[in-house]
Structure 1
Amino acid sequence: MRVSIGAGGRVAVIGAGAAGLCSAKNLRDFGSSFKVVVFERGSRVGGAWRYSDKTGSFAVMYKSLRTNIPKEVMAFPGFPFADELPSFPGHSDVQTYLESYATEMDLHPMIRFNAHVEKVWKDESGSSWWVKSSDTMNYEGSVEEFDAVLVCNGHHGLPVYASVDGLDTFTGITTHSSVYRTPTPFRDQTVVLLGYGPSGVDIGIDIARGGAKQVLVAHRGYVQDEGSLPNLSFRPTMVRVEGSTIHFADGRTVDADQVVLCTGYAYDFPFLDPEIGVTVRNQVISKLYRHLVFTKDPTLSFVGIPQKIVPFPFFHYQSVYVAKYLSGEVDLASEEERENELNEEWKIHGDKADRFFHVFGPRQWEYMHSLAQQTEQTPMPRALQGVFENTAAIRKANPLSYRARQYEVFGEGETDWSYMLVDPV
């Protein structure tokens, strides 16, 4: 099936984070002279990588954050991070990298800053998309017509708050990791963190190192008590709160001063007209072929939905695919075939489909390889997969010191897995 919006088609990209920037570049480079407009509600590129001391300012980074994926794996194809940076750079280094990418790729002419997208809908004829936006500086609004829309607003916009019996009665302070910036407010206090994802572990370590009296990280996958710091330990998940007392699943309790919910974020597209038919339930976005293309209408796509991936290369392969099928250069499965493939994938996941449907992990490699083959792009070198998997294993075994590792990659192509630990720990 050929889907082409024609030469000179107008394409709206929502968001100028890593996914939006990459999509804009590839729509320009691989599309049919598309006219691309990127709507960015902030005043600069970077998306979630923009740091601010202020909470509620679209920022979710904390001050000490460093990547948990090596820069050697994380970079866009053909655009490496600076050589002098460590393998695990800080958030400001990634922000600088994305700003450099936007400049070097000449993306700024396509970006409208301070442009808040209020509504996206399809007209009655079904032939055009309409985007209503407003300038956040002068509040002037506009409505524009487009042939296709790429949603690239990330998935850090809507914090998820865990449901724990009695948590609303906790006499201490409850916050979400999205507002965490520094460990200073937790000094000399007993702190319980709920959640064992990257933010839960890293923030727990940060608070412990920052002088907290006691830090307990509670999670469903609990396997041990002690952490690598004298004031850091682990517990089974929280089951009940009574006043200041936190009850854990194994019957133990602790009196806490603060609780930090490291419970992630929900996908959120408040600007999409409900009539379009995109819904989110249990962390699953409905009707997404290849976790990317809206099954009912392939002129709507969502770049960067999957989790536990190497984000920037992943965005690259996804957006090249979208650009090429919108230009008619790459065939797209029919709607029936898209629905069937989606249903088959759902069956494979079985009981774990809810919540984990968009969580990729090991299956990301075949996914990217398939898109690369279909779009005639160079596949991701296997050596980068080796670095990623090595990092994952060491991060789990030693979350305090794995970032001291420095990698150097030699392997190219699909058979050479060569890389070296320059400074192994």
Structure 2
Amino acid sequence: MLKRSRTYCKMASKKLRVAVIGAGAAGLCAARHILACPDAFLPPVVFEASDQVGGTWVYTEQTGEDAEGWPIHSSMYRDLRTNLPKEVMAFPDFPFDPSLPSFLHHSDVLAYLESYREESGIQDHVRFRWQVDDVRPVLGDQGWDIRATVRGSGSTHRVSEHFDAVMVCTGHYSVPYIPPIPGLDSFQGCLLHSHSYRCTEPFAGLTVLLVGAGASGVDLALQLSPVAARVVLSHHGPPVCGLPEDVLQVPRLLKVAKETVEFRDGSVLQPDVLIFCTGYRYCFPFLPLAQLGLQETDYGVGPLHRHLLAPRHPSLFFIGLCQLICPFPHFHCQVLFALAVLQGRCRLPSAAEMEADAQEQLERYLREGGLARHFLKLKAQQWSYAKELAHLAGFPPLPPAVQAIYEATRARRCHNVSTYRDTKYHLLGPDAWEEVQDSGTDLEDNRKAE
């Protein structure tokens, strides 16, 4: 432990050059806080493969590949509204415009991130159309060499640069996961993943089978119900409350044939369209995971100290891997913890101790009945996780009202997925809030967060 601490005190004695990979919400958060510490860090270099900031919040009608043959990373669809209110979505140091409704159209979130970029002075530090190809550690804890492809007008060239630390902020909503279901290749109807869904019109008058009742599956059921001839939602959980009566909920998909599908209860359906709302894979093709002491796992990549730091290379950070969280506040906490580590203000255990601790956390989670693939789904644990990062790194914890409004929203969504967005929340302070219906009727006034 002392050796590692001395290493970081030495690193903190000079200004560090940090590479940030990705200019979505997590990458912008990292850049903002690096710029806020000019005594410790040189201005960051933010690598962004596309031509604008915003990551998954950038909407495009295109799917698959762009005109130059590069993959379309965004999974945004035209009519998406957030499933969390802006009062808990915001970065703690940058609130949304209070005149906006609580549940926002995706364009409002993108505009917010663009304002965040402008207010933070990030724009000059983003390299657009730079695709990171390779990130390699330099022997002897001497930082990182990054190779990237620069996309010009009809041409590309490759560049290599050196950095003291790397923050991976590439998100995990761009590489679709489709479960291995027998007979899937034989299906003759339209088959796609929600990653490629954009709008309702192509599905008018068709029988649509949605597989998966997470946020995307439920949202698409709500959107498609008014236009499709029939919408069927296949999942293995309890019934989703509040879906339109004409949305049929059936058990998990068992197998697929040319024109029909069969479910686990033996029932059969002949759908025109099969849409998988089954989540995404973590993908880091630019990282030599084995060389870094990491490996692909059922839940993503590991072992990681506190879900974000590579134990054998503690200047490599993964921001935003966790799921079922309040994303922007979560990124905020992870970034501030990472910068405290780099500055030598947060002492780390040895690599062996960090790996052992990560393994123990996983084994405890499995002993308690969790599935390995859900290890990074923090849910209620996100609050103690954020508090711990704040305590270790010495920054203010998240306001109690954030957790309280998040939990109130979750309860309303569980009660009725069709109406929970009708509520508007008002923050009255760090531990006080109120909620009103769109009509303006107070539901709770000066309610205190526990």
TM-score of the two chains, using structure 2 as the length reference: 0.90
8 Å contact kept, 1:46–1:99: yes
Q: Name the SS for the 1:266 alignment partner.
A: coil
Does 2:207 match 1:190? yes
Match of 1:10 among 7, 17, 32: 17
Match of 2:243 among 228, 231, 240: 228
Does 2:100 match 1:85? yes
8 Å contact kept, 1:314–1:368: yes
Which residue in 1 is equivalent to 2:47?
39
Structure 1 outlier segments of 4+, above 6 Å:
none
8 Å contact kept, 2:281–2:300: no
Unaligned runs of at least 5 residues, structure 2: 65-71, 444-450
Does 2:74 match 1:59? yes
In structure 2, the CA distance between the partners of 1:227 and 1:311, relative to structure 1 (3 Å rule), is: closer
| Cα distance in 2 between the residues matched to 1:74 and 1:117 | 28
TM-score of the two chains, using structure 1 as the length reference: 0.95
Match of 1:309 among 320, 325, 328: 325
* Greater alpha carbon shift after TM alignment, 138-147 vs 88-97: 138-147
| Cα distance in 2 between the residues matched to 1:369 and 1:26 | 19
Which residue in 1 is equivalent to 2:121?
106
Q: Name the SS for the 1:280 alignment partner.
A: strand
Instruction: After superposition, give the CA deviation of every residue in 1:89-145 in whole Å (9 maximum; x if it has no partner).
Output: 011100000000000010112211111101111234442310001112241221001
Which residue in 1 is equivalent to 2:169?
152
Shift of 1:366: 0.6
Shift of 1:228: 3.2
Match of 2:57, as an amino acid?
A: W
8 Å contact kept, 1:11–1:36: yes
Which residue in 2 is equivalent to 1:166?
183
Match of 1:365 among 380, 383, 402: 383
8 Å contact kept, 2:45–2:126: yes
| Cα distance in 2 between the residues matched to 1:116 and 1:189 | 39
Instruction: After superposition, give the CA deviation of every residue in 1:22-64 in whole Å (9 maximum; x if it has no partner).
Output: 0111123247133411101111110110000001322210001
How many residues align? The count is: 419
Instruction: Give the fraction of aligned pairs with identical amino acids, expressed as a percent.
Output: 38
Match of 2:36, as an amino acid?
A: D
Which residue in 2 is equivalent to 1:217?
233
Which residue in 1 is equivalent to 2:340?
324
* Greater alpha carbon shift after TM alignment, 261-270 vs 29-38: 29-38
Q: Name the SS for the 1:203 alignment partner.
A: helix
Does 2:154 match 1:140? no
| Cα distance in 2 between the residues matched to 1:125 and 1:382 | 43
Shift of 1:222: 4.0
| Cα distance in 2 between the residues matched to 1:285 and 1:122 | 18
Which residue in 2 is equivalent to 1:260?
275
8 Å contact kept, 1:222–1:234: no
Match of 1:59, as an amino acid?
A: S
8 Å contact kept, 1:295–1:339: yes
Alpha-carbon RMSD across the aligned residues, in angstroms, is 1.7
Instruction: After superposition, give the CA deviation of every residue in 1:330-349 in whole Å (9 maximum; x if it has no partner).
Output: 21222232123212211211
8 Å contact kept, 2:89–2:329: yes
Q: Name the SS for the 1:134 alignment partner.
A: strand
Instruction: After superposition, give the CA deviation of every residue in 1:296-343 in whole Å (9 maximum; x if it has no partner).
Output: 110111000100000001101100111111011221222232123212
Which residue in 1 is equivalent to 2:433?
419
| Cα distance in 1 between the residues matched to 2:41 and 2:414 | 46
Match of 1:76, as an amino acid?
A: F
Shift of 1:77: 0.8
